[in-house]
Structure 1
Amino acid sequence: MNPSTAFAVRGSLGINLCWGPPKFGSNELFNNVLSKSCRFMVFSPSGDYFAYINGTTLYLLQTKNWEIIATIENTKCYHLSFSPKGTYLCSWEPFIVNSTNPQGLPNLHIYKSENGKLLKSFVQKKQIKWEPLWSSDETLFSRLVNSDVIFYDLENFNVVNKIHTYKVVSYSISPTIGTYYILCHTQGSPGQPSIGRLFNYPLFENQQSVANKSFFQCDKVEFYWNSKGSHVLLLTMTEVDKTGGSYYGKQGLHFISTSGETAMVTMNKEGPIYNVEWSPKNTEFCVVYGFMPARASIFNLKCEIIHEFGASPRNSLYYNTFGNILLLAGFGNLRGHIELWDTNSKKLIGKCEAPDTTVLQWSPDGTHFITATTAPRLRIGNGYKVWHYSGALIHEQIYPSDELYEVSWQTVPKGTFKEPTVTSQKVEGIVPSIPQPSKEAYRPPSARNRPPVQFNLHDDESGPAKPSKAALKQKKKRENKKARNLEEKETSTNPPITSNVTVVLTGDEEKDKKIKNIKKKLDAIAKLKDQQAQGKTLEINQIAKVKAEEELLTELNKLQM
Structure 2
Amino acid sequence: MAAAADLVVPTLAIRSSVAVELWSSAGSKQPYEHKAHLPREETKSSRSICFSPDGRYFAYSNGQAVKVLEASRDSAASWPVVATLPRPKAFYLNFSPRGRYLCTWENYTITKDRPEGSPNLLVYEVATGEEVFAVVQKNQTDWQPSWSSDESIFALVVGGEALFYDLGEGAEKGFAGTSRKIGGSRGGMLSLGPGSCPPFLAFYTPGAKGAPSMCKLYKYPALGQNQTVACKSFFQADRVEMLWNKRGSGLLLLTSTEVDKSGASYYGNQAVHFMATKGDTCSVPLSKEGPVHCVKWSPKANEFVVVYGFMPSKAALYNLKCDVVFDFGEGPRNCAYFNPFGTLIVLAGFGNLPGAVEVWDVAKREKLANLKCADTTVFEWHPNGEWFITATTAPRLRISNGFKVYHYSGALLHETMWPQGQELLGIEWQQFPDKTFSEPKITKAKHEGIKSSQPEASKKAYTPPHLRLLKEGKNPEQYLPQPSVPGLAPSAAGGANNKRNNKNKPRGPKKDVVNVVNGGDADSTPAEVAPAGAAVPPGGGVQQTPPVTVPEAGEEQQQQQQRKHQSQHNTPRPRYQPQENAADQPRNQGQQYPQGQANGQNISEKERKIRSVAKKLSDIKKLKLRRNQGENLELNQLNKIKMEARYLDELKALKLSA
Q: TM-score range by the shorter chain?
A: 0.7 to 0.9
Partner of 1:132: 145
1:82: how far off?
Answer: 0.5
Q: Which moved more, 1:369-378 or 1:68-77?
A: 68-77
Report what 1:206 is aligned to: 225
1:294 equivalent among 288, 308, 313: 313
What code does the residue aligned with 2:34 have?
Answer: S
Instruction: Indicate yes or no: 2:189 matched with 1:170.
Output: yes
Contact 1:193 1:216 in 2 (8 A): yes
Q: Give the corresponding residue for 1:430.
A: 450
Secondary structure of 1:207's match? coil
**1:502-537 deviation line (CA, Å, top 9, x unaligned):** xxxxxxxxxxxxxxxxxxxxxxxxxxxxxxxxxxxx
For 1:256-405, list aligned pairs within 5 A.
256-399=275-418, 400-405=420-425
Q: CA contact under 8 A between 1:168 and 1:184: conserved in structure 2?
A: no
Give 1:387 shift: 0.8
**For residue 98 of structure 1, what is the aligned residue in structure 2?**
111
Equivalent runs, 1:493-532 vs 2, <5 Å: none
SS state of the match for residue 84, structure 2?
strand
Q: 1:40 aligns with which of 48, 58, 63?
A: 48
Q: Secondary structure at the match of 1:206?
A: coil
Q: 1:142 to 1:77 in 2, by over 3 A?
A: same
1:109 corresponds to: 122
Matches of 1:304 and 1:73, distance apart in 2: 51
- Aligned with residue 15 of structure 2, among 10, 21, 24: 10
- Rate the CA distance shift 1:189–1:361 in 2: closer, same or farther, 3 A: same
Pair 1:29–1:177, CA change in 2 (3 A):
farther
Is residue 239 from structure 1 mapped to residue 258 from structure 2 by the alignment?
yes
Question: 1:156-179, CA deviations, whole angstroms, 9 ceiling, x for partnerless residues?
Answer: 431100101465611211112223
Alpha-carbon deviation of 1:447? 4.7
Distance 1:212 1:395, change over 3 A: same
Structure 1, unmatched stretches of 5+, are 472-561
TM-score normalised by L of structure 2: 0.67
> How has the CA–CA distance of structure 1 residues 418 and 78 changed in structure 2, closer, same or farther, with 3 Å as cutoff?
same
Opposite residue 46 of structure 1, the aligned amino acid is D
Cα distance in 1, alignment partners of residues 68 and 151 from structure 2:
20
Question: Is 2:74 the partner of 1:61?
Answer: no
Alignment of 1:477-488 (within 5 A): none
Q: Is the 8 A contact 1:8 1:17 kept in 2?
A: yes
Any idea what SS the aligned residue of 2:416 has? strand
Number of equivalences:
463
Cα distance in 1 for partners of 2:113, 2:465 equals 73
Alpha-carbon separation, structure 2, partners of 1:437 and 1:122: 50
Aligned partner of residue 47 in structure 2, secondary structure? strand
Whole-Å separation in 1 of the counterparts to 2:139 and 2:463 = 54
Q: 1:301, 1:414 → 2: CA distance?
A: 23
Post-superposition Cα deviations, 1:219-243, rounded to whole Å, max 9, x if no partner, equal 1000111101111100000111111
Question: TM-score, normalization: structure 1?
Answer: 0.79
Aligned to 2:558: none
Contact persistence 2:62–2:88 (CA under 8 A): no
CA distance in 2: counterparts of 1:163 and 1:113, whole angstroms: 29
- Which residue of 241, 246, 271 maps to 1:252? 271
Q: Which residue of 1 aligns with 2:244?
A: 225
Go from structure 1 to structure 2 and tell me whether the alpha carbon gap of 1:165 and 1:123 turns closer, same or farther (over 3 Å shift): closer
Match of 1:411 in 2: 431
**Does 2:162 correspond to 1:143?**
no
Query: Shift of residue 27 of structure 1?
Result: 3.5
Aligned to 2:35: 27
| Percent sequence identity over aligned pairs | 44
Q: Give the 3-state SS of the residue equivalent to 1:159 in structure 2.
A: coil
Deviates more, 1:105-114 or 1:260-269: 105-114
- Greater CA deviation, 196-205 or 265-274? 196-205
| Contact residue 9 and residue 407 of structure 1 kept, 8 A | yes
Cα deviation digits, residues 438-487 of structure 1 (max 9, x gap): 1232123555779xx9x9744999xx99x99xx9xxxxxxxxxxxxxxxx
Distance 2:192 2:252 in 1: 13
- Equivalent pair of 1:149/1:168 in contact (CA under 8 Å): no
Query: Equivalents in 2 of 1:111, 1:389: separation in Å?
Result: 39
Q: Tell me, yes or no, if the aligned pair for 1:62 and 1:69 is still in contact at 8 Å.
A: yes
Distance in 2 (alpha carbons) for counterparts of 1:439 and 1:192: 54
Aligned mates of 1:142, 1:8 — CA distance in 2: 29
String of CA shifts for 1:40-90, please: whole Å, max 9, x gaps.
110000000011111121111101141001122353211111001111011
**Higher alpha-carbon deviation: 2-11 or 165-174:** 165-174
Residue 258 of structure 1 and its aligned partner are, at CA, apart by 0.3
Q: Could you tell me which amino acid in structure 2 is paired with residue 44 of structure 1?
A: S
In the alignment, the residues of structure 1 paired with residue 425 and residue 630 of structure 2 have an alpha-carbon distance, to the nearest angstrom, of 37
Deviations 1:300-322 (A, max 9, x none): 11101110111111110000000
Q: Give the aligned partner of residue 475 of structure 2.
A: none
Deviation, 1:429, is 1.4
Deviates more, 1:323-332 or 1:72-81: 72-81
What are structure 2's unaligned runs of at least 5 residues? 73-77, 168-173, 472-619, 632-640, 649-658
Higher radius of gyration, 1 or 2 = 2
State the alpha-carbon separation in 2 of the partners of residues 125 and 291 from structure 1: 34
Q: Which residue of 1 aligns with 2:476?
A: none
Aligned equivalents of 1:403, 1:210: Cα separation in 2: 49
CA root-mean-square deviation = 2.4
> What CA distance in whole angstroms lies between the structure 2 residues aligned with 1:95 and 1:363?
35
Give the conservation status (yes or no) of the 8 Å contact 1:373–1:384: yes
Q: Is the 8 A contact 1:352 1:392 kept in 2?
A: no
Asked if the contact 1:225–1:231 (Cα under 8 Å) also holds between the matched residues in 2, the reply is yes
Query: Measured at CA, do residues 193 and 343 of structure 1 come closer, stay the same or move farther in structure 2, by a change above 3 Å?
Result: same
Residues 310 and 629, structure 2, Cα contact 8 Å, conserved in 1? no
CA shift, 1:415, in A, is: 1.1
Is the contact made by 1:5 and 1:365 (CA closer than 8 Å) also made in structure 2?
Answer: no
2:140 is paired with a residue whose SS is: coil
